Structure 1
Amino acid sequence: MRFRYLGNSGLKISEITYGNWLTHGSQVENDIATQCVRAALDHGISTFDTADVYANTKAESVLGEALKGERRESLEIFTKVYWPTGPGGKNDTGLSRKHIMESINGSLTRLQTDYVDLYQAHRFDTETPLEETMTAFADIVRQGKALYIGVSEWTAEQIRAGHALAKELNIQLISSQPQYSMLWRVIEGEVVPTSEELGISQIVWSPIAQGVLTGKYVPGQAPPQGSRAADDKGGADMIKRFMNDDVLTRVQALKPVADEAGLTMAQLAVAWVLQNRNVAAALVGASRPEQVGENVKASGVTLEPELMARIDEVLGDVVQRDPALTAANAPKGRVA
């Protein structure tokens, strides 16, 4: 396993980071989820990412139980706040001081830890003053409940404003967590250049495009049973933007490229995002322990420029690059 610095901080994280979105506490039984976490540890992954909203707080509980007994100083544990949790009351969502302060305490209890290494704003809150949000984050850092601050799916303009306030408050905003893959490159135009300027790294989610880049979805055929595209608990909705014959046909044409690199298609996809120097880590999940072992083989892989160019040629115009899609896919108001 290789490790990279997160932003311009001194914190090192594993470039393959284990994330438990859409699995722990919902799609995967707790004993299997624990086996996946143990497999991650066995393969050298030290960084674990979750959020209070995943399975309505259950994912944090599963992760906390799975990591119990590990040396805390050897782990980097990340979580997030924004989306509705609990019964979804009027203050159970957003980035108000009330919700942030209550959420960090709940997360720490469920994760069975005194602090998280990174506390992230899961989305931008258009209805709360940014000053209120960043002051609450600063107080959490000063209380020792979080070491660093990050954001997720913020636009370049929002990142710049948040970073400026963090600097005024003398705390470190060091990360951005956007969707990024061979098929979804919307951060390259604005978010990445802004982040490089400000000393912020990307921790990217969905590097395998929620399974599409494994090649298991074949154009003209129904998705395999048990796959995310066949899941009616939320997985199918998230993956549907890629589930068209044009995209799936192009993805099938990547197999010879992966074979030439000596990688599976999933490993190629994870290695591809790690070629971006602004990416500190690729978030990968698993529904089976053996998937973890396969994904970590992407760590340390260098893809030659000629191979990267071939990937671009194969995928062509199915790649999404419009920077405006970050804002377009964000909540327009606080979700109740």
Structure 2
Amino acid sequence: MEHRYLGNSGLKISEIAYGNWLTHGSQVEEDAATACVRQALDVGITTFDTADVYANTKAESVLGRALAGERRESLEIFTKVYWTTGPGGPNDSGLSRKHIMESINASLTRLQTDYVDLYQAHRFDIETPLEETMQAFADVVRSGKALYIGVSEWTADQIREGQALARELGFSLISSQPQYSMLWRVIEDEVVPASEELGLGQIVWSPIAQGVLTGKYKPGQAVPEGSRATDESGGSQNISRWLRDDVLEAVARLEPVAADAGLSMAQLAVAWVLNRPNISAAIIGASRPEQVTDNVKASGVTLDDDVMAAIDDALGDVVVRDASLTAKQTPGTRPT
């Protein structure tokens, strides 16, 4: 497993991180989730990403139990705050000082740790003054409950404003966590240049496009039973945009590209992300340990220019590049 610096910080993280967004506490039983975490550790993953909202706090608890007994200093544990947790009261979401302070304490309890390495604003909160949010994050860092602060799905302008305030308060934003894959490239024109300028690295989620880039979904065929596309708890909604025949036909054209590179389709997708600028890590998820084993083989793989060009040729115009779509990730009102 290769490791990379996270942004311009001195923190090194595994270039493939393990995330438990749609699995722990919801899609798979805890024994299976724990087996995936143990496999991640066995293959050299040291970075684990979660959020308080995943399975309404259950995912953090599952991860905390799965990592119990590991040397804490050898791990990088990330979590996030913003979305609604608990019963959904008026202060159970957002980036107010109240919600941040209560959420970090609850996350640490569930994760069974005294601190997280990275605490991330899971979205931009338009209802809370950014000064209040950044002051709260500064206090979380000074208290030692989080070592670093990052953001997720913020626009370039939001990152710029947040970084300016953070530096006034004596800390820096070091990471951005957007969706990014061969198919979804909306960060390339604005978020990545701003991040490079300001010292943030990308920790990207869904590098395999919710499993579509594995090639298991075929044009004109029913989705496989038991796949994410059949999961009504969240997986099916997120993957539906990619289940058009034109997308699946384009993905099928990647199969000879992967074969010529000596990679599985999943490995090609993860390696592609890791070969792009400003990437610190790609987050993978898994419901079975063998998926972890397969995906981590993308670590350290260099794709030459011909392979990168062949990928672009295969996918053609199904790739989504519209930079304005990042702004649509900011909720118009605080969730309840």
Which category of TM-score, normalised to the shorter sequence, fits these structures? over 0.9
Q: Deviations over 1:220-257 (max 9, x none)?
A: 11100111111111100011111100000000010000
Residue in structure 1 matched with residue 273 of structure 2 by the alignment? 273
Amino acid in the other structure paired with 1:156 = A
Question: By how many angstroms is 1:329 displaced?
Answer: 3.3
- Aligned-partner Cα distance in 1 for 2:53–2:30: 17
Q: Deviations over 1:280-333 (max 9, x none)?
A: 000001000111100100000000001100100110110000100111233111
Residue in structure 2 matched with residue 92 of structure 1 by the alignment? 92
> How does 1:1-336 map onto structure 2 within 5 Å?
1-336=1-336
Contact 2:123/2:329, CA 8 A, preserved across alignment: no
- Aligned-partner Cα distance in 1 for 2:116–2:233: 28
Q: Percent identity?
A: 77
Q: Deviations over 1:257-276 (max 9, x none)?
A: 00000000000000000001
Q: Deviations over 1:57-80 (max 9, x none)?
A: 000000000000000000000000
Moved more, 123-132 or 321-330: 321-330
Q: Deviations over 1:35-78 (max 9, x none)?
A: 00000000000000000000000000000000000000000000
- Aligned-partner Cα distance in 2 for 1:58–1:335: 19
Contact 2:181/2:269, CA 8 A, preserved across alignment: yes
Question: By how many angstroms is 1:111 displaced?
Answer: 0.1
- Aligned-partner Cα distance in 1 for 2:153–2:328: 11
- Aligned-partner Cα distance in 2 for 1:55–1:121: 18
Classify the secondary structure of the residue corresponding to 1:171: coil
- Aligned-partner Cα distance in 2 for 1:323–1:83: 23
Q: Normalised by the size of structure 2, how large is the TM-score?
A: 0.99
Classify the secondary structure of the residue corresponding to 1:188: coil
Amino acid in the other structure paired with 1:50 = T
Contact 2:138/2:169, CA 8 A, preserved across alignment: yes
Question: By how many angstroms is 1:121 displaced?
Answer: 0.1
- Aligned-partner Cα distance in 1 for 2:5–2:329: 29
- Aligned-partner Cα distance in 1 for 2:285–2:307: 26
Contact 2:125/2:330, CA 8 A, preserved across alignment: no
Amino acid in the other structure paired with 1:235 = G
Amino acid in the other structure paired with 2:220 = G
Classify the secondary structure of the residue corresponding to 2:283: strand
Runs of 4+ in structure 1 deviating by more than 2 angstroms, as ranges, are none
Q: How many pairs are equivalent?
A: 336
Contact 2:156/2:194, CA 8 A, preserved across alignment: yes
- Aligned-partner Cα distance in 2 for 1:193–1:329: 19
Give ranges in structure 2 of 5+ residues lacking alignment: none
- Aligned-partner Cα distance in 2 for 1:86–1:11: 32
Classify the secondary structure of the residue corresponding to 1:147: strand
Classify the secondary structure of the residue corresponding to 2:4: strand
- Aligned-partner Cα distance in 2 for 1:324–1:277: 20
- Aligned-partner Cα distance in 1 for 2:149–2:124: 14
Classify the secondary structure of the residue corresponding to 1:7: coil
Q: Normalised by the size of structure 1, how large is the TM-score?
A: 0.99
- Aligned-partner Cα distance in 2 for 1:257–1:266: 12
- Aligned-partner Cα distance in 2 for 1:107–1:175: 19
Question: By how many angstroms is 1:277 displaced?
Answer: 2.8
Question: By how many angstroms is 1:176 displaced?
Answer: 0.1
Q: Deviations over 1:110-169 (max 9, x none)?
A: 000000000000000010000000000000000000000000000000000111111101
Amino acid in the other structure paired with 2:85 = T
Classify the secondary structure of the residue corresponding to 1:48: strand
Question: By how many angstroms is 1:172 displaced?
Answer: 2.2
Classify the secondary structure of the residue corresponding to 2:125: coil
- Aligned-partner Cα distance in 2 for 1:181–1:114: 33
